[in-house]
Chains A and B, each alone.
Chain A
Amino acid sequence: MRIYQHFSVVGFCNTYVVGQNNGGKAVLIDPGHVDNELISIIEQNNYTIDTILLTHRHEAHTSGVGTLLKLYNPKIYAYTRKVYDFDVTELADGDSLECNGIEIEAIHLPGHSVDSLVYKIGHALFTGDTLMATRIGSTPGFIERSLLIKIIKKKLLNFDDNTLIFPGHGAPTKIKNERLFNPDLTEETASPWLRNQIMQERVNRF
């Protein structure tokens, strides 16, 4: 299996193309913006986009859907029935689908938006704006933020330490790295005193 990452300068969103080593039908996650670079990734690897997975309906993650529909006529999957003008197939928490031998599992994690989904493919999680390297997604208020932290800990941090995370914005990461270094996730578990102690211990090692 291959995972290609593409950075869209419109909306600063990461788009991922997941396909088999020898080409064929592929999955595209969060088409933020379709440009020549993304088309090159698809075409040079002999892929045809069969499935589009949307992590949530924000424009930065969906504005390339129309162009891809014209080019490849893929099936679109998201949590809600309609994303802007496009009809999509609804996915609920725990639903799974398959594309060219690639097994996909949907995990519903509301907080950043009510329709946020995380997709699990093998040992990789495509988290959209729910969990990014050293950050969690923005929320409309502190109650939603608290809910998001709780649900990330419950549903994502239980995965194996080596599980790879490919977020909607920024660099990739792993579950262990987020558990240890994401200040948004450690702030509730560690008291300020304990965090200072840990930091001081690291300083003293130098």
Chain B
Amino acid sequence: MFEFKTCKKECCNAFATLDSDFCYRHSDNKEALLKKMSKYFETENLIRDINFSHAEFENFSTQQKNFSSSNFSWCTFRNVDFSFSKFTTCFFDFCFFDNCTFKEVDIRYSVFSGSKIINCDFSDSLLIHNNFAGIDAWFCNFSGCDLYFTTFCSSCLRDVNFEDCNLKKADFRETEQRRLSFRYSNYEDASK
């Protein structure tokens, strides 16, 4: 698990980032940190115990990587390709995902709660035991996903496809739904 060390900046309760005493927002050299992190994404196959919140990532691909026990809360991801990657106990809460690809990913025990997810593709993925509570999803595709024990409670879902999904123990309580498709999915097995 990433280190539970909080930022030394007064009144900041975010976790400190990469070997630093400060979080990304309060670090002196954000650019160098971002460069270091991007290089880490490119070179390492196992991205483990990393804490990197509030950062902005754009136009890159991290295909077939293994993310584990890491925290990327409040980050922005634009045009990022995570396809064929594996995520275990990762925290992406309150993030902004724009035009990202999560094709055939394996995401377990991870948190996307409170995120804004626009134009993203999660198709044919294993999304088991995940927390998507309170998300704003717009033009997203979850078709062909196994969403066992995944919660979308209190979310706003617009133009989202959940076609041919396993929705056993999935949770759609208190959701605002417009133009969703649950074709060929077992929506009756989900909590509503």
Q: Say whether A and B bind each other.
A: yes
Contact check, A170 vs B1: say whether CB atoms are below 8 A apart: no
Contact check, A174 vs B134: say whether CB atoms are below 8 A apart: no
Q: How many A-B residue pairs have CB under 8 A?
A: 107
Tell whether A2 is near chain B: CB-to-CB under 8 Å. yes
Tell whether B185 is near chain A: CB-to-CB under 8 Å. no
Main secondary structure of the interface of B (DSSP, over half): loop
State which size class the interface on A falls in: 20 to 34
Contact check, A134 vs B133: say whether CB atoms are below 8 A apart: yes
- Interface positions of A from 15 to 31, Cβ below 8 Å from B: none
Q: Which of B33-41, B77-85, B96-104, B106-114 contacts A (4 or more CB under 8 A)?
A: B106-114
Question: Which interface residue of B91, B133, B173 has the most chain A CB atoms within 10 A?
Answer: B133
Q: Among the listed B13, B149, B173, which residue makes an inter-chain contact with A171, where contact means beta carbons less than 8 Å apart? A: B149
Tell whether B129 is near chain A: CB-to-CB under 8 Å. yes
Question: Which interface residue of A164, A173, A177, A202 has the most chain B CB atoms within 10 A?
Answer: A177
Contact check, B176 vs A172: say whether CB atoms are below 8 A apart: no
Tell whether B158 is near chain A: CB-to-CB under 8 Å. yes
Contact check, A174 vs B109: say whether CB atoms are below 8 A apart: no
The smallest beta-carbon distance between A37 and chain B, in angstroms, is: 12
Query: B13 contacts which chain A residues (CB < 8 A)?
Result: 160-162
8 nearest A-B pairs in the assembled complex, by CB-CB distance: A181-B134, A123-B4, A134-B153, A171-B131, A177-B113, A181-B154, A181-B133, A122-B4
Which B residues fall within an 8 A CB radius of A?
1, 4, 6, 13-15, 69, 73, 88-89, 91, 93-94, 108-111, 113-114, 129-131, 133-134, 136, 138, 149-151, 153-154, 156, 158, 169, 171, 173-174, 176
